[in-house]
Amino acid sequence: MPPSLYIGLRFTVSRKRSLAFSLLGVIFGVAFFICTQAQTQGFEQYFIKTILGTSGAIIVSDRFQSRFTSFDNTAGGTVLSGQARRKYYEGITDAAAIMRVIRQFSNVTACAPIVQGNLTAQGDFQSEIATIQGIDLDLHLQATSLGKQIVKGSLNDYRVRPAGLILGSLLAEKMQVTVGDNVTLIGVGGVRKVATVSAIASSGNNIIDDRRGYVNLRLAQSLLNKPSLVTMIVVTLRDPDGAPQLARHFEELFRHRSRDWQTREHGNLLIFSTLRLSAGITVSLIILLAGVLIFNTLTMTVLDKAREIAILRSMGYRRIDITLIFLFQGFLVALIGSILGAMMGALLTYGISLIPVKITGFFSTDHFIVSWNPEHYLYAVLIAFFAVLTASYFPARRAANLAPVEILRGSGQ
């Protein structure tokens, strides 16, 4: 071991109680940082998974008229007068042809047509306004997570019934209906169709589960008076992060509105990002507090060890050597604190993931959701080392700048 590091270790031992409090601050700061980030990102990923599983990475919908620029010749010359606003036309009339082209893109895994609209769902005890989606079951199962969301009933029963109905769990609860019950669907113009509840689905998103129902594509077109229209095409991707670029390409290619999931959920994603940042800043204050404790401890060490430092300087130790003695103490606290804090953070994260809790709000779950991301550990360690080494630098520089001759003569420190 180099002499400077050995001396630094001896100085550390001389004030082990004070440094122990600093060490505990780093440990708890690192652990809580990892734990809070794991929770906030866990719920964010759960939300994203729910969105991708119900609405896909890209939604292709209404056809639009290309923007054009008008000109004004009244002033004796051609004058640019501005672009006309884009005009949209409801639905997709050539969904089959568009889907054939979409499937040729390498990033696309599946796509499915949907006819969507609001209508009245009337049970024996309660009527509700429902958002009905008409689907092609086989294509829809490929493009969404509907098959994994069934909590009651059977998709096979829905498949064999010409008027089968899948209801969101909260909607079924409000209407007081269950599998096997009949529900009257009242569509545009008072058109009535009796459907049998074949299954009940829970997506985990309460907004969806509170309003959505699924019927056969043709039945939905009849109820909504859209015999030849498809409201949207849901597209799933191998790499959902590439959705914005592909959505822009789809708009240019098909002249239909194409919205990626990042754009659709921008507000909600911003909320999650803000929560993660806020939690990270709050917990980082614990590490900064540990840095303040180290600063105070090392400052006192400099004052107490001023004579020893002067002797070391007179023996030939350079300023950089004295600086390293005190920086080593901070490095030791940061290293041990980061290792123990990371271990404690992993244990806390695992323990929290096992806690049963009933969450019903924006989405529903029966336990805390956590994310195991190595970046959380990396960021926690970097913050710890930055805070501790920065706090150690100033006492170390003060020690290096002590005048050894004056100290040894007893003229002051």
Same-domain status, 209 and 144: yes
pLDDT of residue 411: 47
Contacts of 404 (CB under 8 A, 6+ apart): 309, 310, 311, 313, 314
Residue 359 lies in a domain: yes
Tell me the per-residue pLDDT of 319-331, one tens digit each, with 9 for 90 and over: 777 777 778 888 8
Residue 242 lies in a domain: no
| pTM, full prediction | 0.75
Residue 64 lies in a domain: no
Q: Give the total number of structural domains in the chain.
A: 2
Alpha-carbon distance 208 to 54, whole Å?
Answer: 9
pLDDT of residue 224: 93
Alpha-carbon distance 394 to 157, whole Å?
Answer: 74
Q: What's the residue count for the chain?
A: 413
Same-domain status, 39 and 119: no
Same-domain status, 117 and 21: no
Contacts of 55 (CB under 8 A, 6+ apart): 144, 234, 261, 264
Same-domain status, 114 and 225: yes
HSE of 252, CA atoms in CB hemisphere, 13 A? 6
Alpha-carbon distance 48 to 41, whole Å?
Answer: 10
pLDDT of residue 412: 45
Write down the residue that tokens 């923007």 correspond to: 67
Residue 275 lies in a domain: yes
Q: Give the alpha-carbon dihedral of 167, 168, 174, 180, to 10 degrees.
A: 30
Residue 115 β-bridge partners = 134
pLDDT of residue 284: 83
How many other C-beta atoms are found inside a 10 Å radius of the C-beta of residue 115?
Answer: 28
- Pairing outcome for strands 58-65 and 87-89: antiparallel
In SS3 terms, the chain reads as: CCHHHHHHHHHHHHCHHHHHHHHHHHHHHHHHHHHHHHHHHHHHHHHHHHHHHHHCCEEEEEEEECCCEEEECCCCCCEEEEECCCEEECCECCHHHHHHHHCCCCCEEEEEEEEEEEEEEECCCCEEEEEEEEECHHHHHHHCCHHHHEEEECHHHHHHCCCEEEEEHHHHHHHCCCCCCEEEEECHHHCEEEEEEEEEECCCEHHHHCCEEEEEHHHHHHHCCCCCCECEEEEEECCHHHHHHHHHHHHHHHCEEEEEHHHHCHHHHHHHHHHHHHHHHHHHHHHHHHHHHHHHHHHHHHHHCHHHHHHHHHCCCCHHHHHHHHHHHHHHHHHHHHHHHHHHHHHHHHHHHCCEEEEECCEEEEECCCCCCHHHHHHHHHHHHHHHHHHHHHHHHHHHCCCHHHHHCCCCC
Same-domain status, 135 and 223: yes
Same-domain status, 110 and 199: yes
Same-domain status, 287 and 403: yes
- Pairing outcome for strands 356-360 and 364-367: antiparallel
Which residues of the chain are modeled with pLDDT < 50? 411-413
Same-domain status, 39 and 155: no
Q: Give the residue from 211, 230, 249 where a domain finishes.
A: 230
Same-domain status, 283 and 383: yes
Residue 65 lies in a domain: no
HSE of 283, CA atoms in CB hemisphere, 13 A? 27
Residue 127 lies in a domain: yes
- List the structure tokens of 136: 């092609």
Domain that holds residue 175: 93-230
Same-domain status, 216 and 348: no
Same-domain status, 292 and 177: no
Residue 263 lies in a domain: no
Same-domain status, 213 and 117: yes
Q: Give the residue from 230, 245, 276 where a domain finishes.
A: 230
Residue 103 lies in a domain: yes
Tell me the per-residue pLDDT of 76-95, one tens digit each, with 9 for 90 and over: 555 555 555 678 888 899 99
pLDDT of residue 388: 87
Asked if residues 84 and 68 have their Cβ atoms less than 8 Å apart, the reply is yes
pLDDT of residue 11: 62
